[in-house]
Amino acid sequence: MSAPTLRLAPLLDGLKAAGEDTRLRLLALIADGELTVSELTDILGQSQPRISRHLKLLAEAGLVERFREASWVFYRRSADTPGAALTDALLGLMAPDDEILQRDRERLAAVRAARAAGAQAYFRAHAHEWDAIRRLHAPDEQVEAAILAALGPEPIGALLDLGTGTGRILELFAHRIERGVGIDLSADMLAVARANLERAGARNCTVRQGDIYGLALPRDTFDVVILHQVLHFLDDVPRALKEAGRVLKPGGRLLVVDFAPHDLEFLREQHAHRRLGFSSEAMEGWLAHSGFETLSHIALAPGSAAGQALTVSLWLARDPRSPGAAATDTTPAGSEDRKEVA
Ligand SMILES: C[S@@+](CC[C@H](N)C(=O)[O-])C[C@H]1O[C@@H](n2cnc3c(N)ncnc32)[C@H](O)[C@@H]1O
């Protein structure tokens, strides 16, 4: 396929917008995932009005996209504008070992780590009441019936529950699977999960501490991967989906269960949410980009929740490779620099 080309006018507009120190650095940062103005301000150490002005110029030239979710404004790399081709070309020319870009990436990692630490502090504090918190916005019975229906009645071999928390999804499937593995960053949530699984007699299920972004698990291992009410806590959804895809067997299925877009801003401030739900368009775009084929999407009308009811969406997707077409590499990605606690 030939490289995309640009007409002179958008090319010049794009070059003018990108041709400045801070704006080139912004492009490099945004290429790494969706970021808010205040995160970009922290990383670059410049005033918010200054960063907003630069972002506005990049957005006007079609090099980045701006979207609002309640009071937060996010920026992401443009996908379908002529400017996207220019952004790709510029990013391809940036030396990964450039000192300024490296420093920016380190600051980005620090900003993300601080946010993840905040979310983990939340789960540490709320591990014992998480099951009740989950029911505040959607009744478990309705959501769980939809999850079971989405995956159908056939037995499942190996199931992976990412962000397993208190292990509820493993408990739900224990009698229908050969084996289940739950992964979570939070030792406190996992302690509750272990107690719950033991009480339920789910001896075919284990939980381990690990990071969704870098699973110490071999590729092509699981028949089904579930992400239940997890993605809205993460700052890089496509990265999480790609990692889920890596450990799915050819033809394996991924079930994502999360909120539809909403405007309950307090969930960010008080409950560590990063994203206020996901549109079908956004999720299906990420699934396609991460190599999945979406099989179905259903939205459950808000039921009678204990608190403020929200719409829950279920996306079922599959690995498009034919079953049995496994790759030969069984090394866990990056296992050399990750540890997993059984
Ligand atoms: C809202 S809870 C959902 C738990 C469970 N899936 C449920 O629906 O009850 C989200 C879980 O994701 C975990 N989590 C967040 N970021 C993670 C990451 N990067 N890797 C692994 N687990 C993560 C949190 O520790 C938390 O237990």
**In angstroms, what is the C-alpha Rg of the chain?**
21
E strand map for 245-309: 248-259, 293-300
Q: Give residue 175 CA to ligand 1 midpoint distance, Å.
A: 23
pLDDT in tens, 3-36: 678 889 989 999 999 999 999 999 999 998 899 9
Whether residue 208 is predicted with pLDDT greater than 70 in this model: the reply is yes
Mean pLDDT on 195-212: 96
pTM: 0.87
The DSSP annotation for 159-202 comes to: EEEET-TTTHHHHHHGGGEEEEEEEES-HHHHHHHHHHHHHHT-
185 CB near ligand 1 (under 6 Å): yes
Residue 164's identity, in one-letter code, is T
Tell me the mean pLDDT in the region 297-308.
Answer: 83
In a mutational test of the pocket of ligand 1, which residue from 172, 183, 184 has the highest number of ligand atoms less than 8 Å from its CB? 184
Nearest to 108 by CA among 210, 236, 233, 216: 236
- DSSP-derived secondary structure letter, 230: -
Q: For 258-268, what is each residue's pLDDT tens digit? A: 999 999 999 99
Each residue's pLDDT tens digit, 75-104: 999 887 788 889 999 999 999 999 999 999
Q: Helix 21-30 to helix 8-18 angle, to the nearest 10 degrees?
A: 100
Q: Which of 136, 185, 274, 341 to mutate to test the pocket of ligand 1 (most atoms within 8 A of CB)?
A: 185
CB of 196 closer than 6 angstroms to any ligand 1 atom = no
**Domains and their CATH numbers in the chain:** 8-94 (1.10.10.10), 128-318 (3.40.50.150)
Residue 333 — very low, low, confident or very high, per pLDDT cuts 50/70/90?
very low
What is the percent of the chain where pLDDT is above 90?
A: 83
Residues 243-280: pLDDT tens digits?
999 999 999 999 999 999 999 999 998 999 999 999 99
pLDDT at 338: 33
User: Ligand 1 centre and the CA of 233: distance in Å?
Assistant: 8
Closest residue to atom 17 of ligand 1, CA basis: 185
Per-residue pLDDT of 57-72, as tens digits, reads: 999 999 999 999 988 9
25 CA to middle of ligand 1, Å?
32
Q: What is the pLDDT of residues 121-172, one digit of tens each?
A: 999 999 999 999 988 888 999 999 999 999 999 999 999 999 999 999 999 9
